[in-house]
Structure 1
Amino acid sequence: MRHINRSALAALVIFTSSLAMPATAQESIEVGATFIAAALDPTKGSSSWALVSHGIGEKLFMVDRNGKLVPELAATAERTGDLTWTVKLAPGRFFSDGSPVTAAALKKGFDHTFANLPAAKSTGGMIIFEATDDLTFLLTTERPVPLIAALFAEWPLMAYTVKDDGSFLFTGPYAVDAFNVDQNLELVPNAHYQGAESRSPINLRRFGDAQTMALAFEAGELDLAFGLPSEGLSRLKSNPDLTVKSFPVGYQYFGFINNERPQVSDVKVRQALDLTINREELVAAINAGTPATGAFAPYFPFAPREPRGTDLDRAVALLEEAGWMSGAHGIREKDGEALSVLIVTYPQRPDLVTMMPVIKAALARVGIASETKVVENIGEYAAGGDFDIALWAQHTAPSGDPAYFFNSMLKSDGPLNHARYASPAFDAIIADLTTAGTLEQRADIALDAQARLFEDAPLTFLVSPDWHVGLSKRLAKYEPWGSDYHVIRPEMGEAR
């Protein structure tokens, strides 16, 4: 197996003699997924989220399997002023090299994150960290934050430290032995994490598409296949040596509609697109989930109750009001130009690829032509803006709160606002989330914000999905939770 040169890429791979496997280690657990961390630098793309998902990193606070916000590396958080908080760390925690977790060490990591990852600033703005003793932070936020624990449960804010040589140290139950970019991560138990002796090493393999992963799982190559496609599930379930578990997730499937593209810059065209798509057809195509009601999974109190509807007659009327009339070959035209949109998505979420032709057919019913494209790096591609609709999967409330999604992906200056949506009215609504302290208040604001989004249609909300995980007999007791935020967990070594 080809390994990255550790001496040349010390900033990417952490490997010390203290990471040796316990003497009682079992045979490696083989895990397959369609995603893998892009780098061991938590500020590169979504690596912070991926490293936590892989069991390498942790956060100050997390959402547990029951959806409850709980401490992880932290012990308590207390407000001390309008913009200041004191956070106490839990004692007795260690990095994977055996050094203690201290406020000063974590400050180095958070400073690196806030200097290099714009998404970290979405909720509280820039945050200044001061280590007042080994286990205590004083935090100063740029903007008021009603729930600091929810902020630190957001995916960009993994807790780690930066060594003098520029490499990174993490605290999770597993440590990196070898990292082959875009191929696999070889993980060993973190010897300084409780219960290390019960854990086996893990080989996490990245598959370019879910169908190939499903074939590898069926052939007995994988103990855990995360994100199986809906096609072929019945065949896999009929195999007595395999277990398939399906579960609802906090992710939502939606489409960014690029407000700056001429074909969809008119709100009436965007509204027509939204009304044309039949969510029941999408659910049937992927054989899982329910039609979306808005931006959030239906079990959240800030999710609307009614599914997004389909109304072809109204869609046609809106298109004609916008000047798009039926033309040659049934495609709508205006000023001699055909109405055609580019739809893009990415293979790491196979349901989105399955949904793409269904959406193409739906748009054709009202005279909208479309081209489709599957790209490998959707974040980079969407940032470039060469699309009309970008099909996307996102956990919209990873901390159990609606603020992060609105601030990062829909606020006018949001760092991940791929719709190029700019609405002072929407910004004013979500600004109230900086002061609303009760769940009821925050739910009301989130519902008002979604009503505004339904009017402006910078997104089309599609499906609240179910996902599927395949398990060998060795991991038959494994229970998926946290969507894909915690795929590799401390108890996996005990799930045999």
Structure 2
Amino acid sequence: MPAVHRFAIARRTLLAAGLASAAVLVAAPAIAADPAPLVVAKTFVTQSLDPVDGSAGWALVSHGIAEGLFTVSREGTIVPLLAEAAERRDDGAWIVTLAEGRTFSDGTPVDAEAVAAALNRTGAENPAARASAGRLAFTPLDAGTLLVETERPTPILPSILAEWAFPVYRQTDAGPIFTGPYAVAAFEPGARMALAPNPHYPNAEARVPIDLRRVGDGQAMAIALAAGEVDLAFNLPVETLSMLRAREGVSVRSFPVAYQYMMFMNTRAGPLADPAVRRAIDRAVDRATLVAAIRAGRPATGAFADAYPFAADVVPAHDPDEARRLLEEAGWHLGTDGVRAKDGERLVLDLVAYPQRPDLVTLQPVLRAALAEIGVGVTTRVTEQPNDVASGGDFDLLLWAQHTAPAGDPAFFLSLFLGSEGARNYSGWSSGALDALVAELASAEDPAERLRLAREAQALAAEGAPVAYLVTPEWHVGLSDRLAGYEPWGSDYYVIRPDLAPAD
């Protein structure tokens, strides 16, 4: 693989009539002119090539760079990828057999020693890798076989190894080397990547280089697609679709995703430390109105999309009168200015969204209006750094988009985002009862029992209301004629895939 280097930044701006702001793109990297690279625009580009850094593993898979031992198929089932099989021993440990003939993008074989070194490092340094079964210990038994021991017993190791925290890589002095259909030729963190076909990946000759760009402004992304500057525009704002569908040489695919749009409530201090206030806010939200605002998706029933068997099956009630009653009983009384107050403190909350998910920004004024109806004042803010805001607790209400079952199992989200010690427990909520349920879920063998525990955990969390689940969305992808046959699937986890190739 060519040495990774930073782009020299040369700014240019996409301009169009009536567009007040535009996305700034860096100059194109030196990619061979023949064949012409595919230009892919997304609302995010990874900040890091190291899988131990936050959600970098998810981004690297989405960008077509990394792969795991197991993955989720187009049909939603767990299937082997770099592994061939996994078998559980009587003592609870697992034997994982690697697929034959796989190599890293520098031609080095994917062997058990390299896999163990990478995933043991990830487990030590990335809390997300410890969410479902605690720390995993990988020991090579021979070149093609691994012993995997788990801190907490689990019957679903293949599903855990399909989670985004577990891409396989090989550490080198020049940085990590991966196994995906594309390798990194050049990299501007958070902004741009030049991707070259991995010559050691099957059917490499069918692929062309990719110029991957972050375009944070959805309107600018749509205009770039319409102008013929982009071949694939991922996660377009709904208000741009009619314009694009009328444009010759452009097609649009809309598809349901397993993400949930949600609103974290900061329970650490202030009004939201009171569960009655949190429940009032949840009752004030009309999910159907939110769906209408973004013109796509379905009202959320709980932590998981309703396609999953462990999803809650009832949309939370919209009951403004109940919300007002809860606030009155909690001592928050309506003032002459229409905003409630208690002991001289006005009930005004800071609602934060981020533009990488354009729908969340669209939801802000709708939620502000709904809360105003029950006497809650709202100020709105948009941040380019949602992870910093979330981890630092710099919010009252935080709109968030999350794939809550990335490998088809509920334990990952419930542990990582709602567990008392969860590394992404952004709300700061703690419940010993929920922790106990999640611990039971992690080791439960019977599928029916796993469903029961997942639903019980969601019901318990709904009572505490640290998170309001809002919408199960639908997303939109725009395509040039070069990619007219592209079909999106797997939310945003499988965007740049082995089958991404220009039309003949």
Which TM bucket (shorter chain)?
over 0.9
Compute the displacement of 1:212 (Å).
1.3
Contact 1:62 1:70 in 2 (8 A): yes
The residue that corresponds to 2:79 in the other structure is 70
1:1-36 per-position Cα deviation (integer Å, ceiling 9, x unaligned)? xx97479xxxxxxxxxxxx99x99631101000011
The residue that corresponds to 1:461 in the other structure is 469
Decide whether aligned partners of structure 1 residues 433 and 248 sit closer, same or farther in structure 2, where only a CA change above 3 A counts.
same
What count of residue pairs does the alignment treat as equivalent? Answer: 480
For structure 1, which segment, 395-404 or 178-187, has the greater mean C-alpha deviation from structure 2 after superposition? 178-187
Compute the displacement of 1:82 (Å).
4.2
The residue that corresponds to 2:143 in the other structure is 134
Amino acid at match of 1:275: R
1:63-114 per-position Cα deviation (integer Å, ceiling 9, x unaligned)? 1111111011011101114441110000000000001000101112112211
Contact 2:43 2:235 in 1 (8 A): yes
The residue that corresponds to 2:289 in the other structure is 281
1:412-465 per-position Cα deviation (integer Å, ceiling 9, x unaligned)? 000000011100111111211122223322111111111111111010000000
For structure 1, which segment, 315-324 or 371-380, has the greater mean C-alpha deviation from structure 2 after superposition? 371-380
Compute the displacement of 1:208 (Å).
1.8
Contact 2:38 2:502 in 1 (8 A): no
The residue that corresponds to 1:105 in the other structure is 114
Answer yes or no: is 1:415 the counterpart of 2:423. yes
The residue that corresponds to 1:47 in the other structure is 56
Give 2:389's match in structure 1, choosing from 372, 378, 381: 381
Describe how 1:274-423 pairs up with structure 2 within 5 A. Answer: 274-423=282-431
Decide whether aligned partners of structure 1 residues 464 and 6 sit closer, same or farther in structure 2, where only a CA change above 3 A counts.
closer
The residue that corresponds to 2:264 in the other structure is 256
Contact 2:6 2:187 in 1 (8 A): no
Contact 1:24 1:197 in 2 (8 A): no
The residue that corresponds to 1:118 in the other structure is 127
Give 1:268's match in structure 2, choosing from 270, 276, 299: 276
Q: CA–CA distance in 2 between the matches of 1:82 and 1:305?
A: 37
1:226-274 per-position Cα deviation (integer Å, ceiling 9, x unaligned)? 0000112111112231100000001000011111131111000000000
The residue that corresponds to 1:448 in the other structure is 456
Amino acid at match of 2:61: V
Gaps of 5+ in 1: 8-19
Compute the displacement of 1:219 (Å).
1.0
Contact 1:124 1:144 in 2 (8 A): yes
Answer yes or no: is 1:219 the counterpart of 2:246. no
Q: CA–CA distance in 1 between the matches of 2:40 and 2:343?
A: 54
Compute the displacement of 1:182 (Å).
2.3
Describe how 1:6-85 pairs up with structure 2 within 5 A. Answer: 26-85=35-94
Q: TM-score, normalized by length of structure 1?
A: 0.94
Q: CA–CA distance in 1 between the matches of 2:286 and 2:55?
A: 31
The residue that corresponds to 2:19 in the other structure is none
Secondary structure in 2 matching 1:178? strand
Decide whether aligned partners of structure 1 residues 147 and 328 sit closer, same or farther in structure 2, where only a CA change above 3 A counts.
same
Contact 1:251 1:297 in 2 (8 A): yes
The residue that corresponds to 1:199 in the other structure is 207
Q: CA–CA distance in 2 between the matches of 1:330 and 1:148?
A: 53
Q: CA–CA distance in 2 between the matches of 1:251 and 1:173?
A: 25
Q: TM-score, normalized by length of structure 2?
A: 0.93
Q: CA–CA distance in 2 between the matches of 1:495 and 1:108?
A: 39
Give 2:255's match in structure 1, choosing from 247, 255, 261: 247
Secondary structure in 2 matching 1:449? helix
Amino acid at match of 1:428: A
Answer yes or no: is 1:89 the counterpart of 2:98. yes
Q: CA–CA distance in 2 between the matches of 1:206 and 1:415?
A: 27
Q: CA–CA distance in 1 between the matches of 2:467 and 2:264?
A: 5
For structure 1, which segment, 189-198 or 81-90, has the greater mean C-alpha deviation from structure 2 after superposition? 81-90
Q: CA–CA distance in 1 between the matches of 2:248 and 2:310?
A: 41
Amino acid at match of 1:322: A
Contact 2:4 2:184 in 1 (8 A): no
Q: CA–CA distance in 2 between the matches of 1:389 and 1:133?
A: 50
Secondary structure in 2 matching 1:243? strand
Amino acid at match of 1:65: R
Decide whether aligned partners of structure 1 residues 281 and 44 sit closer, same or farther in structure 2, where only a CA change above 3 A counts.
same
The residue that corresponds to 2:11 in the other structure is none
Gaps of 5+ in 2: 8-29
Compute the displacement of 1:304 (Å).
1.7
Secondary structure in 1 matching 2:238? coil
Decide whether aligned partners of structure 1 residues 102 and 335 sit closer, same or farther in structure 2, where only a CA change above 3 A counts.
same
Secondary structure in 2 matching 1:491? coil
